[in-house]
Structure 1
Amino acid sequence: MSFSARYRALVYASLVASFLVVVWGGVVRVTGSGLGCPDWPLCHGQFLPSLDPATRIEWTHRFLAIASGLTVAAMVLWTFISYRADRRVLWLAIGVAVLYPLQAVLGGITVLLELSPEWVTLHLANAELLLAALTILAVIVRWPALARERAPGWTWLILASAIGMFVVLLSGALVRGANATYACFNWPLCGAIALPLDQAPSHANVIAQRIDLPTSGAPLIAMLHRYITAIVGLALIAACAQAWRHRREVPGLGGVAIATALIFVLQVAIGAANPLSNFRDWALAAHPAAASLLWCSTVALAALAWRPMSGQGAVVRDLIALTKPAIMSLLLLTALGGMFLAARGVPPFGILAATLIGGAAASGGASSLNHYFDRDIDERMRRTRHRPLPAHRISTRVAVVWGIALNVIAFIVLAVFANLLAAALALAGTIFYILVYTVWLKRTTAQNIVIGGAAGAIPPLVGWAAITGSLDLA
């Protein structure tokens, strides 16, 4: 399907306007103007309040959001009227239509809760998902023709890099939420660290001892963000190199690959400039802006390289099937119970979300590896012979890589956003499920499910440990 020039321009304008909203949100955070308008949706009870500096900055953010919202609404309406026959465009427009109002609601909740770190992070995550949807839509209207019927293996590296970049964004939000922005005064190692009560660059001259590789507190959180960025960055550079090698296969792939690599280098330089410049305002504001630009560029690269058609849709369904969603939901329910018991009520939102996301990834990864080890006996049973591996719809290598990748994601999410004990327990559950239950008990005794059921007792422990940091009952 071809798209009119005016429709393409409206899609591009929606993306740019939404990007400006996210960038100005970074200015709001850097200047501490988040409560410049302490109420919502009005500002000091008025639409046009008196404009002191903090109010002016926050009000500008809201004005940009309104302008962007009108642009996005016009684009979504035009899509529904003229281009609903293209299912890719239609579903992306529906996603945008859901994410944008949700962004406004989350913004209101964030203000009313006086910038709660968990809600600030959720607000940012939703904004980046909105940017991703608009970026993919922009790629489709710019290059509407699909280049091939099946995505080759190298495109999975690009897709994984995009997912990793989202984790980097969330870890950066954790650094800000945990007041760890000013924790390290050197780069790439931590170097001298700030005293615990010094949370602003004006106190940068008051520092404690030099610790290059911290193991606790705010410096550890700051360094974890750097570690995650380094790992994802290596994968992203490799993905850009692969995209450049295959640039003749897909229009626009080479240019986007070069742009993504350059933006990544720029982002690393800005990240280094923060501690090395004593956290100047320009560096603090440029860092999240460049991160969002890199996120959009990485998503565009993934959208160009991995262009799913009907066959790829089946691959996605099979990958989901490898995670055994039914079993996963039951395990998450027990983890949720452990969290509520440990918290003696409703657990903190951030830890709850991290534990459910990490738990889902750990459960899905263990199930995918279980599919791999059970592929021979699955072929003999009527109930299981149509699973992805025995039916030969998914290769064994993909199942193993998928399982390991999900477990790595689970460990990182739980270690960064909950604690190391919860992450270690989740990993131990996977190891027990695979080595003890799948490889040993299932092939030696009819009591395998009785003994192996111990793996199913791990999620409540993960939930408890995520809240308390220990396995003590007190």
Structure 2
Amino acid sequence: MKLDDVKLPTNHSNALVRRLFSFWAPTTESMRGWALAAVVVNAGITVTGAAVRVTGSGLGCPTWPRCTPDSFVPIAHPEISPVTMAVEFGNRLLTFLVLAVGFACVVSAMRLAPRRRPLLRLALLQPAGIVFQALWGGLVVRSLLNPFTVSVHFLVSIALIAACWALYARSGEGDGPVRRVTHRDIRRLGHVLVAAVVVLLLAGVLVTGTGPHSGDALASRFDLDIESVARLHADIVYLVVGLSFALMFALHVTDSPRPARRAALVLILVELAQGVIGYTQYFLAVPAFLVGVHVLGSTLVWIATLRVVTSLRTRDPLTAPAVASPTETPAKV
């Protein structure tokens, strides 16, 4: 039986069922919907991974791929709290949801008519990255939550979110050459901002790997001074916020398209909220709950940054003629 012979309820009377199976008969709108769902679930599992750590559940399942040496699912164990085991195993189960959404994106990209190879390449990054994440998660457990392996686990999630957002942005565009919708220097400023946020995330994992919430009493920590890395992190925050304000101001004074101005404003608001959370957790001696909220804020800052930089350019359909104007000129990818 051929793949095309498979029949799924894409014309079901229930709207929810139609959306769930829309990957089989995709449209541009449903393709974007699955890409956005991928952004959400990858951000979600990043935050739940932080919840595993701050609740001390990092070794709730002390082995991998099994939860315990003799079972793939949680079973009563005298040396392990059932709560920590449930928290860690629950996070493992979420991987299957993320993988399912990733495969839905791949199938949507394969069956979209006409097929667009850039979308398919971006979609294929998801299952590949998720499988890598699962295998790396096993290394995290086997290394007893070594801060380096935990940090890489988070950073790969950040990279996956970027790939998912790229799929979302590209699925709403054509496949023609990149065309900027703002001044060239403003777009360059957007690229500098992305680089600064990446550095900020790297500094954040240093603070996390040095701080008190290791995920388990057996876990090691980076041999760094927590005050020094926290100050470094704060200094980079000031830089990122300054660049964000500069970008928002530049977009405003040049009367750039409204979506770009709105995206920059949202980024500023998210950053300010994240700053409030960061200083609050610092003065309250880093409570576990606020650490989890701070990781959520970091993920939202990253997504908001990606939204800003993709709003500074677009692509026309291949069949459409290029539009020549002082602010909309062809730009290199």
Post-superposition CA distance 1:298-348 (Å, at most 9, x none): 0111112144789999846xxxxxxxxxxxxxxxxxxxxxxxxxxxxxxxx
Q: In the superposition, relative to structure 1, how do residues 110 and 181 fare at CA in structure 2: closer, same or farther (>3 Å)?
A: closer
- TM-aligned CA deviation for residue 17 of structure 1: 1.1
Q: Find 1:258's aligned residue among 261, 265, 268.
A: 265
1:241-252 correspondence to structure 2 within 5 Å: 241-245=249-253, 248-249=256-257, 252=259
Give 1:293's aligned residue. 300
Separation (CA, whole Å) in 1 of partners of 2:44 and 2:143: 24
Post-superposition CA distance 1:100-144 (Å, at most 9, x none): 221112111111111111111111111000001111222233455
Separation (CA, whole Å) in 2 of partners of 1:106 and 1:298: 26
Separation (CA, whole Å) in 2 of partners of 1:47 and 1:313: 54
Q: Find 1:173's aligned residue among 205, 222, 225.
A: 205
Separation (CA, whole Å) in 1 of partners of 2:146 and 2:99: 24
1:8-407 correspondence to structure 2 within 5 Å: 8-44=32-68, 45-50=70-75, 52-82=82-112, 85-142=115-172, 149-150=179-180, 152-179=184-211, 217-245=225-253, 248-249=256-257, 252-307=259-314, 315=332
- TM-aligned CA deviation for residue 66 of structure 1: 1.3
Q: In the superposition, relative to structure 1, how do residues 98 and 269 fare at CA in structure 2: closer, same or farther (>3 Å)?
A: same
Contact (CA 8 Å) 2:66, 2:72: kept in 1 or not? yes
Separation (CA, whole Å) in 2 of partners of 1:82 and 1:218: 50
Give 1:389's aligned residue. none
**Greater RCO structure (CA 8 Å; 6+ sep):** 2
What SS does the corresponding residue of 2:58 show, helix, strand or coil?
coil
Separation (CA, whole Å) in 2 of partners of 1:103 and 1:313: 37
- TM-aligned CA deviation for residue 174 of structure 1: 0.9
Answering whether residue 4 of structure 2 is matched by residue 4 of structure 1, we say: no
* Stretch moving more, 65-74 or 236-245: 236-245
- TM-aligned CA deviation for residue 274 of structure 1: 0.5
Question: Which entry has the higher C-alpha Rg, 1 or 2?
Answer: 1
Separation (CA, whole Å) in 1 of partners of 2:92 and 2:253: 43
Separation (CA, whole Å) in 2 of partners of 1:18 and 1:73: 13
Q: In the superposition, relative to structure 1, how do residues 112 and 244 fare at CA in structure 2: closer, same or farther (>3 Å)?
A: farther
Separation (CA, whole Å) in 2 of partners of 1:47 and 1:22: 22
For 2:196, the aligned partner's letter is G
Q: In the superposition, relative to structure 1, how do residues 300 and 88 fare at CA in structure 2: closer, same or farther (>3 Å)?
A: farther
Separation (CA, whole Å) in 2 of partners of 1:244 and 1:56: 49
Q: In the superposition, relative to structure 1, how do residues 119 and 32 fare at CA in structure 2: closer, same or farther (>3 Å)?
A: same
Separation (CA, whole Å) in 1 of partners of 2:177 and 2:268: 23
Separation (CA, whole Å) in 2 of partners of 1:220 and 1:20: 30
Stretches of structure 2 lacking an aligned partner (at least 5 in a row): 1-25, 77-81, 215-220, 323-328
- TM-aligned CA deviation for residue 245 of structure 1: 4.6
Separation (CA, whole Å) in 1 of partners of 2:250 and 2:71: 53
May I ask how many residue pairs the two structures share in their alignment?
A: 282
Give 1:386's aligned residue. none
Separation (CA, whole Å) in 2 of partners of 1:3 and 1:271: 41
Contact (CA 8 Å) 2:179, 2:313: kept in 1 or not? no
Post-superposition CA distance 1:251-296 (Å, at most 9, x none): 6323222211110001101001102223222211100111011101
What SS does the corresponding residue of 1:153 show, helix, strand or coil?
helix
- TM-aligned CA deviation for residue 238 of structure 1: 1.5
Contact (CA 8 Å) 1:103, 1:123: kept in 2 or not? yes
What SS does the corresponding residue of 2:36 show, helix, strand or coil?
helix
For 1:285, the aligned partner's letter is G
Separation (CA, whole Å) in 1 of partners of 2:166 and 2:102: 14
Contact (CA 8 Å) 2:39, 2:164: kept in 1 or not? yes
- TM-aligned CA deviation for residue 226 of structure 1: 1.1
Question: Structure 2-normalised TM-score?
Answer: 0.75
Contact (CA 8 Å) 2:210, 2:226: kept in 1 or not? yes
What SS does the corresponding residue of 2:179 show, helix, strand or coil?
coil
Q: In the superposition, relative to structure 1, how do residues 178 and 285 fare at CA in structure 2: closer, same or farther (>3 Å)?
A: same
Contact (CA 8 Å) 1:253, 1:304: kept in 2 or not? yes
Identity within the alignment, %:
24
Post-superposition CA distance 1:198-218 (Å, at most 9, x none): x9xxxxxxxxxxxxxxxx833
Q: State the Cα RMSD in Å.
A: 3.0
- TM-aligned CA deviation for residue 82 of structure 1: 2.1
Q: In the superposition, relative to structure 1, how do residues 31 and 299 fare at CA in structure 2: closer, same or farther (>3 Å)?
A: same
Separation (CA, whole Å) in 2 of partners of 1:223 and 1:46: 44
Separation (CA, whole Å) in 1 of partners of 2:63 and 2:293: 27
Separation (CA, whole Å) in 2 of partners of 1:84 and 1:46: 46
